[in-house]
Amino acid sequence: MTLEIITSPALAPVSHGFFTRKGGASSGVFEGLNCGGGSSDLSDAVALNRVRVAGAMDVAPEALVTVHQIHSPDVVTVTGPLGDAKPKADALVSATKGVALGILTADCQPVLFADAEVGVVGAAHAGWRGALAGVLARTVEAMEALGARRENIAAVIGPSISQRAYEVGPEFFEDFMAEDPEFARFFAGGEGDRMQFDLPGFGLHMLREAGVGTAEWTGHCTYSDPTRFYSFRRTTHRGEADYGRLISVIRL
């Protein structure tokens, strides 16, 4: 099966892709293109999946750079392959041609950034913690340090959990209210004390607050489409032992 790659005209002509789970070597609950080395999947299968992704992005496997994601606002500036190093961070930026920046997700937002005019790209893993902590604005700032202009930056959120699938409790809501009461608009009423959180809507808000020229969401919900996407929450609801990770990549 061939790889399925979702792209956005907003990021053109920069090479990029939000990869689905189709076309990979993994099996069982990981069936497809699991690129998560932190999963309990066979390491050889994950390695082969990453090689396929690198090939699709027309880079050598060692030029596909990822980080050890920790739900932080931390950003790494990449100037070349990192070898076996895996810095703890949740976003990467680069102005180096031939280096592909990769982010792993399974409900959280993968966000790809590009200032095509000056040649600066970025990729961020923005779950609710990272998004609330400012990882998206920090990515824009790191791109500016490489010469990008925020008004020229296009930022696209890839497949993420949608509001209808993201039920949260009162403690979650209070974390957002403590930051800014205006964030209440990203919550809808649910059953009892539960609410539905709009993660992509919140991500778009934070991107626009950061002043990017274009901010979009591809509109794909990871939870509701098991044939195309991995989902941590869906795995939890099904009682499965583990889950795969999707990869989203951008390169100059």
pLDDT at residue 235, as a whole number: 93
pLDDT at residue 252, as a whole number: 95
Please state, as a whole number, how many other Cβ atoms lie within 10 Å of the Cβ of residue 204. 21
β-sheet bridge partners, residue 195: 168, 189
- For the chain, list residues with pLDDT below 50: none
pLDDT at residue 84, as a whole number: 82
The answer to whether 128 and 179 have CB atoms below 8 angstroms apart is: no
DSSP letter, residue 56: H
- Token reading at 58: 């027309």
Q: What is the CA radius of gyration of the chain?
A: 17
pLDDT at residue 34, as a whole number: 97
- Token reading at 204: 């778009």
pLDDT at residue 85, as a whole number: 82
Note if the pTM is more than 0.75: yes
Q: Domains of the chain by range and CATH?
A: 5-162+198-251 (3.60.140.10)
Report d(CA 168, CA 172) in Å as an integer.
6
Report d(CA 199, CA 34) in Å as an integer.
23
Alpha helical stretches, state H, the chain: 43-56, 128-133, 135-145, 170-179, 199-209, 232-238
Report d(CA 170, CA 168) in Å as an integer.
7
pLDDT at residue 241, as a whole number: 85
> In terms of DSSP bridges, do strands 246-251 and 15-19 run parallel, antiparallel, or are they unpaired?
antiparallel
pLDDT at residue 135, as a whole number: 98
The answer to whether 26 and 53 have CB atoms below 8 angstroms apart is: no
